[in-house]
Chains A and B, each alone.
Chain A
C-alpha cells in the first residue's frame, strides 16, 4: 500500500512538472503559432541552471554556488530565457522553417555540449551534489515527496492562472491576431517580431521552470534527461490535449505520461527478454504514431481551443440569455 502511494506521488509529481512544460509550449505553439523543436534544451537549461547554482561544490566542474533555492530556480529559468532570446532574436523575423530548424539545432547542441563539457556540466556522468531544499526537516522520503508534490502543484496552478490571464489580456488577443493574420496585425501598428519574441522567451522560461523542478526532484540531471525524445513527448501531450487550450494541455500531459509509463511497464513485463532492447524503439514508434495520427484525424486535439469573441457588439447579450 505504501509502495502504491509513493508510486502515485512519484508519477503525479513528474506528470505535474511535465504539465508545466506543456503549458509553456502551449503559449508558443497554441497561442502564438511558434514552432519550438527544442523543448528539451530549454527544459535542460532550467535543470542544469538550477542545479549548478544551487548545488554544493564538486570536484571537476564549476558550480556548487549553493545559492538559496528560490534564487537557483530563478537562475535556471533565466538561463532558459536567455537561450530562447538568443535563438529567437535571429530566427523570428524569418520564415517559420528557420525557427523550427534552429530550435531543433539548439536541442542537439545543448545535449552535445552538456555531454562533452565536463567542466560545466559533469559530462556524461551528469550533475550531482545537489541537496534538495528543506529535506532535513522531513523524517521519511515519502513525506518529503508528498510536500514536494504540493509545491509543484501550486506552481502548476500559478502558471496556469498566469497564462489564463495573459491569454485573456489584450496581449493574448495580440498573440492570436498575429497567429491568424500577421499582416493585419502589422497594419494596426503592432510589431509581430517583437511580440513573437516575448511569447517565445516567456514560454521558454516556463519550460525552464519545469526543468528546474525536474532537476530538483531527482537532485540529478544528465544528458540522458535532455534527449530529443523529451521534446516529442511534450508535443504529443500538447497535441493530444488540444493546442490553444491550457486545461487540455494539462490533461494531455497526464494522459500521455500515463500511456508512456504504462507502455514501458507492459513492455518490460511482458515482452520476451531478447526483445527488451527494442522496447525503446517500440515506444518511440508509438509516440510518433500518436503525433501523426492526431494531426491526421483530430488536429484540434481532444479538448479543442475555445474560440472567444474579444469584443461583443454594441448591444451586449442580455445576461439571462448567456
Chain B
C-alpha cells in the first residue's frame, strides 16, 4: 500500500512534466495534441544517441554520478535532448500544425496530430528497432527505506523526482517573475488583447512548443531511466498525460502538475484492488470520474 503511494508519486512527477507542456499547447493553440506523448519518446531516444556519443568521445564521462545509474554523459545528453526535442516540436508545428491552424480548422489539428503521432512513433521504431533497451544495463539496486512495511526506492527514482520538481519550480519562476512569463499568460488569457499590447504571438507560440518539447524530453528520459526505452513510450504515456491535464483542468499549468501526481497516485492505488493487467485502463477511468464530478478539472475554468 505505502509502496504503491511511493511509486505513484514517483511516476506522477513524470506525468506532470508531460502534462504541463501538453496543457500549454492545448490552451494556447486550442487543440488536443495526440502527438505530444511522442515527444517523450523522441526525448528518450535523442538522449540515448548523445549518451553513447559523449561516452565514446570522452570515456571519462561514462563514470556514474554517485549512487545513480546515470552517468555524466547521460546528464549532458539530457540537456542536449531537451534542446533537440524542443526543436523537433517547433519543426512539427511549422510543417504541419501551423499550416492547418492558418486555415482555422481546430478539429483538423486533432486529426493531424494522430497522423503525426503514428508517423513519429513508427519512424522511431524503424530507426532504433522495436525492442527495448536501457541507458545502462547494470542492475540498479533499490534502497530499502523501511522493512516493515517493505518500501523500496531506487536512487534513480529519487533523482527523477527531484529533477522534475526543480524543472517545475524553474518554470513557475519564469512564468511568474519575467516579462516573458507575463506575455505568455496574457496570450493565454486573451490573444488579441495581448497582441494589441505588443506581444509577438508567433514568438509565444514557438516558446510554448519549446517549453513543451523540453519538458517532454526530460519526462521521456526520466521515464526511460526508471523503466526502459521502447518506441512505445509515447503510446503508453499518452492516456496518463491526457488524464493529468483533464484532472487539473485543460489550460491550467499548476493543475497539470497537480494532476500528474494525482493520476500517478490514483493509478497505482487502484492496482491494490485490480489485477495489474488493467493498468492501461486506469487513466480513462480517472477521466470519467473527473468528467462526472468536476468536468472542468480541479483548477480549470469553463471555456467555450
A105/B284 in contact, CB under 8 A: yes
Chain A residues with a Cβ closer than 8 Å to the other chain, count: 41
Q: Which residue of the partner chain A has the closest CB to B117?
A: A288
Known: A281-B130, A296-B100. A100 touches B116 (CB 8 A): no
B32/A101 in contact, CB under 8 A: yes
A97/B32 in contact, CB under 8 A: yes
Q: Which residue of the partner chain A has the closest CB to B34?
A: A104
Q: Which residue of the partner chain B has the closest CB to A231?
A: B114
Q: Which residue of the partner chain B has the closest CB to A289?
A: B119
Contact among B34, B123, B287, B288 for A285, CB-based, below 8 A? B123
In the complex, which residues of chain B have a beta carbon less than 8 angstroms from the beta carbon of A108?
239, 280-281, 284
Binary A-proximity of B186-207 (CB < 8 A = 1, otherwise 0)? 0000000000000000000000
Q: Which of B96, B110, B275, B296 is the most central at the interface, judged by chain A CB atoms within 10 Å of its CB?
A: B110
Contacts of B121-146 to chain A: CB distance below 8 A: 121-123, 125-126, 130
Tell me, in angstroms, the Cα distance from A105 to B289 when the chains sit together: 13
B295 close to A (CB within 8 Å): yes
In the complex, which residues of chain A have a beta carbon less than 8 angstroms from the beta carbon of B32?
97, 100-101
Binary B-proximity of A95-133 (CB < 8 A = 1, otherwise 0)? 111101110111011001101100000000000000000
Main secondary structure of the interface of B (DSSP, over half): helix
B103 close to A (CB within 8 Å): yes
Tell me, in angstroms, the Cα distance from A287 to B119 when the chains sit together: 8
Binary A-proximity of B1-42 (CB < 8 A = 1, otherwise 0)? 000000000000000000000000010000110100000000
Q: Which residue of the partner chain B has the closest CB to A278?
A: B126
Tell me, in angstroms, the Cα distance from A91 to B304 when the chains sit together: 13
B93 close to A (CB within 8 Å): no
A90/B285 in contact, CB under 8 A: no
In the complex, which residues of chain A have a beta carbon less than 8 angstroms from the beta carbon of B110?
35, 37, 96-97, 100
In the complex, which residues of chain B have a beta carbon less than 8 angstroms from the beta carbon of A104?
34, 238-239, 242
B106/A113 in contact, CB under 8 A: no
A285/B119 in contact, CB under 8 A: yes
B112/A116 in contact, CB under 8 A: no
A285/B111 in contact, CB under 8 A: no
Tell me, in angstroms, the Cα distance from A281 to B130 when the chains sit together: 9
Known: A97-B32, A112-B278, A295-B111. A102 touches B287 (CB 8 A): yes
B265 close to A (CB within 8 Å): no
Tell me, in angstroms, the Cα distance from A102 to B110 when the chains sit together: 13
Contacts of A58-96 to chain B: CB distance below 8 A: 90-91, 93-96
B227–chain A nearest beta-carbon distance, Å: 18
Tell me, in angstroms, the Cα distance from A15 to B46 when the chains sit together: 40
A289/B115 in contact, CB under 8 A: yes
In the complex, which residues of chain B have a beta carbon less than 8 angstroms from the beta carbon of A91?
291
B277 close to A (CB within 8 Å): yes
B122/A285 in contact, CB under 8 A: yes
Contact among B107, B116, B125 for A278, CB-based, below 8 A? B125
Q: Which residue of the partner chain B has the closest CB to A275?
A: B126
Tell me, in angstroms, the Cα distance from A289 to B121 when the chains sit together: 12
A33 close to B (CB within 8 Å): yes
B291/A285 in contact, CB under 8 A: no
B118/A291 in contact, CB under 8 A: yes
Tell me, in angstroms, the Cα distance from A278 to B131 when the chains sit together: 11
B108 close to A (CB within 8 Å): yes
Q: Which residue of the partner chain A has the closest CB to B109?
A: A295
Tell me, in angstroms, the Cα distance from A116 to B116 when the chains sit together: 30
A168 close to B (CB within 8 Å): no
Tell me, in angstroms, the Cα distance from A285 to B284 when the chains sit together: 26
In the complex, which residues of chain A have a beta carbon less than 8 angstroms from the beta carbon of B96?
292, 295-296
A275–chain B nearest beta-carbon distance, Å: 9
Tell me, in angstroms, the Cα distance from A39 to B238 when the chains sit together: 18
Tell me, in angstroms, the Cα distance from A93 to B108 when the chains sit together: 20
Going nearest first, the 3 A-B pairs with the smallest beta carbon separation are: A288-B118, A291-B115, A105-B284
The contact sample of 12 A-B pairs, CB cut-off 8 A, is A94-B296, A98-B250, A101-B246, A112-B281, A116-B278, A282-B122, A284-B121, A285-B126, A291-B115, A292-B112, A295-B100, A295-B115
B positions within 8 Å CB-CB of A: 26, 31-32, 34, 96, 99-100, 103, 105-108, 110-112, 114-119, 121-123, 125-126, 130, 238-239, 242-243, 246, 250, 275, 277-278, 280-281, 283-285, 287-288, 291-292, 295-296, 303-304
Known: A105-B239, A105-B242, A278-B125. 5 other contacts (CB 8 A): A100-B34, A278-B130, A288-B114, A289-B119, A295-B108
